[in-house]
Structure 1
Amino acid sequence: MGSQKQAVVLLSVLLFLNFLLFSGADDVYYEFILQEAEFTKLCGTKTVLTVNGSFPGPEIRARRDDTVYVNVRNQGRFAVSIDWEGVEDSIDGANELIQPGTNFTYEIELDDEIGTLWWHARSAWAEATVHGAFVVLPAAGEQFPFPAPTSDHPIVLGEWYRQELTEGIVPGQADAYTINGHLGETYGCNDTSYQLQVDYQGLYLLRIINAVANETMVFAIAQHSLTIVGQNATYSRRSFSSSLTLAPGQTLDILLSANQNVGQYYITARPSSGRLNTTGIIHYTTSTGPLV
């Protein structure tokens, strides 16, 4: 009888060690510094609040079941807090403002989330420039539930205002829209365009995020069909479309098959009202390679 109990205990220990060995969950650390920076767009220069001096802010990348620690240091003039869209579990201290000159570390435990999430400042004036992608890859040993892409690329649809936004200012109608921080050639101010290089016959996972606060955005790539494989931090049954409509805060994971003639094709993003739009460019090359 005793030997049977020992065997059961030994088996339990082996199973637990096996779980630890193959679960592959990690702790992932990021450092965010809230700071003001100058940007020149729409033929003018203004100061905006950023994370690490970039617009959009830095991308977070982790695997399912990981725990992500994001230490936010506020070097700006106003108190700010960060919201984590698509994270299922509550985050301690998420509602507390980070005062100037202080820091706070968010602990984000990933569970069933998969695909594309995003983060942003809670206050409307800061959210316009303080936001970024949050990519959750399959856990170690798991595969994508669709053909493995050559590479993946977050694409954040944003907005730009001519006025400087500070605490107490409620943003109105945007003066322009952006793709990964680029206005494109639409506005006539020599602003740069977002450019994506693809290999002919390559397969690309595009992670589209609508970070525009109060506008439904329409996204398309000229002469290309888009395959939707996920939305709002979960994978979904595949569907096909020539254009995508994203509600404010929505994310979509799409597959782009680079199967057109080698050349350049426009990416377009516009509000559903159609008042303004922005453009990017896809450049084809003639070779392809596997996802590393």
Structure 2
Amino acid sequence: MGRGNRFHLAIIPLLFLAFIGFMSTPVKAAVKSYQFNIQVKNVSRLCHSKPIVTVNGLFPGPTIYVQEGNRVLINVTNQAQYNMSIHWHGLKQFRNGWADGPVYITQCPVQTGQSYTYDFNVTGQRGTLWWHAHIFWLRATVYGAIVIMPKQGTPYPFPQPDFEFNLLLGEWWNNDVEEVVKQGNKLGLPPKMSDAHTINGKPGPLFPCSEKHTYSMEVEKGKTYLLRIINAALNDELFFAIAGHNMTVVEIDAVYTKPFYN
């Protein structure tokens, strides 16, 4: 065999390997980025005003909208006087458990004046989850929704709703929550019960100074609404119903379920 033929035979496997390498290059996941600024803000409820810890000055905090398969980057900058960590409640965290958020377990806290970026993938989940502070009792005000949409072109396994609403059920204390916890520990008792339950940070109309500040939804007769309901209360199991209406449960903790009716 001539030298030129040997050269051609040697280069063919290299070209073949290069072609296989090109064909097997994985498609990069779309990246969703968010900025969380931990800030103290004065908020009034039940005729009382007090400073609370918030994300971006919002109570509840911002909703994270992602799609199944996305990579998510969330940069947390702590401008409050408390150490901070954020837990992404219910996310499976495949291959990125270090981003789960429980302080002193998967990470050190984000100290005042410092930043930390959470980097995780959303894999095999679709539906509703939530995020919250995972240090002290700061999740009384530091929390928000996570909405995971199905992959492009994948429909819901139930009739398409006309509209969607996020409903975050929470609690409100007139006093500083950390002081409430300290007082309970000093007495050897559970912390004092909250002064009100809230929907999207607002108490019901029967509480003081609340009649004009209650959360409400405008709906249209005959339309179907998907309600993403999250129990963000610290201590209580809560039940939800709408008078005169039937509801169908279609998903629980980012897993579709066989529809059942109440």
After TM superposition, list the pairs within 5 Å mapping 1:255-274 onto structure 2. none
- 1:195 is aligned, of 212, 216, 225, to 216
Once the two structures are superposed, residues 170-229 of structure 1 have per-residue CA deviations (whole angstroms, 9 ceiling, x without a partner) of 553111000001112021323511111122221111100000111010111110101000
2:103 maps to 1:91: no
2:241 maps to 1:220: yes
- 1:102 is aligned, of 114, 121, 131, to 114
State percent identity of aligned pairs.
36
Aligned match of 2:53: 49
Cα distance in structure 2, aligned partners of 1:74 and 1:184: 31
- Larger Rg: 1 or 2? 2
SS in 2 for 1:68: strand
Cα offset, 1:63, TM superposition:
0.3
Contact 2:136 2:178 in 1 (8 A): no
Aligned length: 235
Once the two structures are superposed, residues 38-67 of structure 1 have per-residue CA deviations (whole angstroms, 9 ceiling, x without a partner) of 111111101110001111100000000101
**Tell me, which stretches of 5 or more residues in structure 2 are unaligned?**
1-8, 102-106, 183-190
**What TM-score does the superposition give when structure 1 sets the normalisation length?**
0.74
Cα offset, 1:25, TM superposition:
3.8
Cα 1:77/1:9, change in 2 over 3 Å: closer
2:165 maps to 1:144: no
Once the two structures are superposed, residues 82-102 of structure 1 have per-residue CA deviations (whole angstroms, 9 ceiling, x without a partner) of 111111114325332000000
Cα 1:165/1:224, change in 2 over 3 Å: same
Once the two structures are superposed, residues 221-269 of structure 1 have per-residue CA deviations (whole angstroms, 9 ceiling, x without a partner) of 110101000101111000001xxxxxxxxxxxxxxxxxxxxxxxxxxxx
Cα offset, 1:141, TM superposition:
1.7
Greater fraction helix: 2
Contact 1:63 1:136 in 2 (8 A): yes
**Hey, which bits of structure 1, 4+ residues long, moved more than 4 A?**
6-14
Cα distance in structure 2, aligned partners of 1:167 and 1:75: 20
Cα 1:8/1:228, change in 2 over 3 Å: farther
Cα distance in structure 2, aligned partners of 1:66 and 1:210: 25
2:176 maps to 1:164: yes
SS in 2 for 1:197: coil
Contact 1:25 1:139 in 2 (8 A): no
Contact 1:25 1:63 in 2 (8 A): no
SS in 2 for 1:217: coil
Once the two structures are superposed, residues 110-150 of structure 1 have per-residue CA deviations (whole angstroms, 9 ceiling, x without a partner) of 00111001000012420100000000000112111111111
Which stretch shows the higher mean deviation, 46-55 or 144-153? Answer: 144-153
Greater fraction strand: 1
Aligned match of 1:206: 227
Cα distance in structure 2, aligned partners of 1:143 and 1:10: 35
Cα 1:107/1:13, change in 2 over 3 Å: same
Aligned CA RMSD, in angstroms, stands at: 2.5
SS in 1 for 2:218: strand
Cα distance in structure 1, aligned partners of 2:125 and 2:179: 32
SS in 1 for 2:137: helix
**Tell me, which stretches of 5 or more residues in structure 1 are unaligned?**
242-292
Contact 1:210 1:217 in 2 (8 A): yes
Cα 1:43/1:168, change in 2 over 3 Å: closer
SS in 2 for 1:77: coil
